[in-house]
Amino acid sequence: MQWEEPEMEPRPPAWPLLCLLLLCQSSCAGVGAQTYPDFKLQQPQSSEVVIKGDTLTLNCTVSGSGPVGPVKWVKGWGSDNQTVYEHKGSFPRVMRAVPDPSNDFTIRISNVSLEDAGTYYCVKFRKGTVDDVVFTKGGGTEVSVHARPSVPVVSGPSHRAVPGQSVPFTCSAKEFSPRDIRVKWLKNSTLVRAEPPHVTPELSNSSYRMSSTLQVKLSEDDVRSELTCEVQHPTLAAPLRKTYALHQALRVPPSVSVVAAPSGAVEVNKTVNFTCRVQGFYPGAVNVSWLENGTEMNTGNSTQPTETSRGLFELNDTVTVQAGEEKSGFKFTCLVVHEDQEPISGTGILWVTPPALGESNEGLIGDSKSLIYVAVGVVCTVLALLVIAILYLIRTKQSKGYTSRRRAAGPPPRRSLTPTT
Ligand SMILES: *[C@@H]1O[C@H](CO)[C@@H](O)[C@H](O)[C@H]1NC(C)=O
Ligand SMILES: *[C@@H]1O[C@H](CO)[C@@H](O)[C@H](O)[C@H]1NC(C)=O
Ligand SMILES: *[C@@H]1O[C@H](CO)[C@@H](O)[C@H](O)[C@H]1NC(C)=O
Ligand SMILES: *[C@@H]1O[C@H](CO)[C@@H](O)[C@H](O)[C@H]1NC(C)=O
Ligand SMILES: *[C@@H]1O[C@H](CO)[C@@H](O)[C@H](O)[C@H]1NC(C)=O
Ligand SMILES: *[C@@H]1O[C@H](CO)[C@@H](O)[C@H](O)[C@H]1NC(C)=O
Ligand SMILES: *[C@@H]1O[C@H](CO)[C@@H](O)[C@H](O)[C@H]1NC(C)=O
Ligand SMILES: *[C@@H]1O[C@H](CO)[C@@H](O)[C@H](O)[C@H]1NC(C)=O
Ligand SMILES: *[C@@H]1O[C@H](CO)[C@@H](O)[C@H](O)[C@H]1NC(C)=O
Ligand SMILES: *[C@@H]1O[C@H](CO)[C@@H](O)[C@H](O)[C@H]1NC(C)=O
Ligand SMILES: *[C@@H]1O[C@H](CO)[C@@H](O)[C@H](O)[C@H]1NC(C)=O
């Protein structure tokens, strides 16, 4: 509406100048310039791209003599315009490139935001009685604001996974513009194939966000592997990278075995060390407890977990047991709890040499001696019986008439002496 006013106002005095207006139309820029034929306003940039946060320079110069009135910068045209800069007033982010007074009305807008996108006009006003009225304007500079993506964020699974499991990793970046963005995944600097990223507009519609998901099958050797997400965008001179250490997502359960020292059977009251060897686990913390034949016993002595060259951990936990006779055949079970998982167990068995075996050796010696005594006893008894029998026979003969005491007494003593020799 105000646009019309300059034409209406100068109309009555301009009637005689109509021919001049028609003549100069090709060379005169802007309407109303007819009264100031050598006035020129130049806004050379038709479009400009600026990166969010950077400084935007908008050029405008005037030359020749014009009407009294200010030069202003206006964003948009029509009802939703906005004065970006004028000499009076406060525009904190805007500065003149060349200080006033000057014909160079170039401005610099610092810390450009996405909302700064739009068309900017350099406008010469004519001082009016109430309001300034538009005298002439430049062709407009169309400003687009690009935005660098935020530093990517890589997230892993919410719970640690064991080797062999395939788990998702997500890389995301936001608030970038234009839409085209490329994402690369690297595992230990080796390119990994991934689906193209998912790009969606931000709520404001002026920029985008992206998210890229990669499935990784974990292995024991990944304790020291790294996953890298690399983002490339037209606003970036070099790609943005974010690295994720895979050990954060990995749980390697231990292998558990129990070793007895000394191995094999031990004598009563000797001590035996049962060592629980807990090997190849990550992260490096475990809780070890022991069961003596199924019931809880005192805790063992643990070594500090030591890190192996592969980045996994191991430790030994030892219980010392006195070999009571009644404990032979007892199972000593080591329970290893890793990362709140079900315990993993290993078992050793105590073998105690029965004390009866030691005594029975002595017993055997005793038995052999008594056997000899028994044998001797038996032989003597037999001989004694023989002597009695012979004596009986002799007496029977004597009763028949043969009397000889010397003969009868002679032979028996000789025979009874033979076993003792
Ligand atoms: C814009 O104005 C500045 C300051 O006067 C000048 O240095 C620069 O060369 C101008 N650029 C263009 C494209 O006219
Ligand atoms: C700017 O907008 C206002 C209304 O919001 C209007 O009165 C004025 O004429 C407009 N100016 C320009 C240069 O478009
Ligand atoms: C730039 O503007 C943003 C808001 O758009 C603000 O948060 C930030 O602090 C500003 N930076 C500087 C250097 O003024
Ligand atoms: C963003 O764009 C969608 C569709 O193009 C529209 O429905 C929505 O209102 C826009 N949001 C804003 C904040 O401009
Ligand atoms: C990745 O590199 C680390 C050392 O930089 C190595 O320990 C690991 O085994 C490697 N992982 C794979 C999967 O090659
Ligand atoms: C059992 O371990 C202790 C130390 O913990 C050691 O002094 C002892 O010699 C070990 N005994 C055997 C039989 O290995
Ligand atoms: C074993 O020790 C107990 C007491 O500590 C004792 O009574 C027993 O005689 C010992 N047994 C042997 C075979 O040494
Ligand atoms: C070991 O036990 C302690 C105390 O009960 C507990 O705080 C810790 O989380 C456990 N550690 C593991 C690896 O289970
Ligand atoms: C020890 O366990 C074994 C088998 O589990 C069982 O036969 C034996 O009776 C147990 N001994 C004791 C003293 O609990
Ligand atoms: C642990 O070791 C100490 C000294 O080395 C010893 O006194 C203690 O009895 C041991 N504990 C167990 C349960 O073996
Ligand atoms: C555990 O004990 C074994 C011998 O039984 C030894 O070779 C190993 O180094 C020990 N490990 C640790 C972590 O102490």
> Which residue's alpha carbon is at the smallest distance from atom 7 of ligand 7?
269
pLDDT value, residue 34: 54
Ligand nearest to the CA of 105: 1
CB 145 within 8 A of CB 113: yes
pLDDT value, residue 270: 93
Domain boundaries, given as residue ranges, for the chain:
32-146, 153-249, 255-353
* Ligand 2 atom index nearest CA of 123: 13
> Which residue's alpha carbon is at the smallest distance from atom 13 of ligand 11?
315
Please give the span between the terminal C-alpha atoms of the chain, in angstroms, as a whole number: 158
Query: Domain 32-146 is of which CATH architecture?
Result: Sandwich (2.60)
* Ligand 2 atom index nearest CA of 121: 13
> Which residue's alpha carbon is at the smallest distance from atom 14 of ligand 1?
59
Exposed/middle/buried for residue 364 (C-beta within 10 Å: 0-12, 13-18, 19+): exposed
pLDDT value, residue 101: 85
Give the 3-state secondary structure of residue 54. coil
Please choose from 93, 94, 108, 111 the residue to mutate so as to test ligand 3's pocket, defined by most ligand atoms within 8 A of CB: 111
Any atom of ligand 2 within 6 Å of the Cβ of 56: no
CA distance 289 to 242: 41
> Which residue's alpha carbon is at the smallest distance from atom 11 of ligand 5?
225
**What would the two tokens of residue 58 be?**
């908008």
CATH of domain 255-353: 2.60.40.10
CATH of domain 153-249: 2.60.40.10
Residue 240, phi then psi, degrees to nearest 5? -90, 140
pLDDT value, residue 356: 59
Instruction: Spell out the per-residue pLDDT of the chain, length 421, in tens.
Output: 344 444 444 444 444 444 444 444 444 444 444 578 899 999 999 999 999 999 999 999 999 989 999 999 999 999 989 999 999 889 999 999 998 888 999 999 999 999 999 999 999 999 988 888 999 999 999 999 999 999 999 999 999 999 999 999 999 999 999 999 999 999 999 999 999 999 999 998 889 999 999 999 999 999 999 999 999 999 999 999 999 999 999 999 999 999 999 988 999 999 999 999 999 999 999 999 999 999 999 888 899 999 999 999 999 999 999 998 889 999 999 999 999 899 999 999 999 987 654 444 443 444 445 555 556 566 667 677 777 777 777 777 776 654 444 444 444 444 444 444 3
Token pair 């026979």 is found at 393
Any atom of ligand 7 within 6 Å of the Cβ of 268: yes
pTM of the model: 0.71
> Which residue's alpha carbon is at the smallest distance from atom 7 of ligand 8?
287
Any atom of ligand 1 within 6 Å of the Cβ of 106: yes
CB 386 within 8 A of CB 296: no
Exposed/middle/buried for residue 278 (C-beta within 10 Å: 0-12, 13-18, 19+): buried
Cis, bond preceding 262 (omega within 30 deg of 0): yes
> Which residue's alpha carbon is at the smallest distance from atom 11 of ligand 6?
273
Alpha-carbon 164 to chain mean position: 16
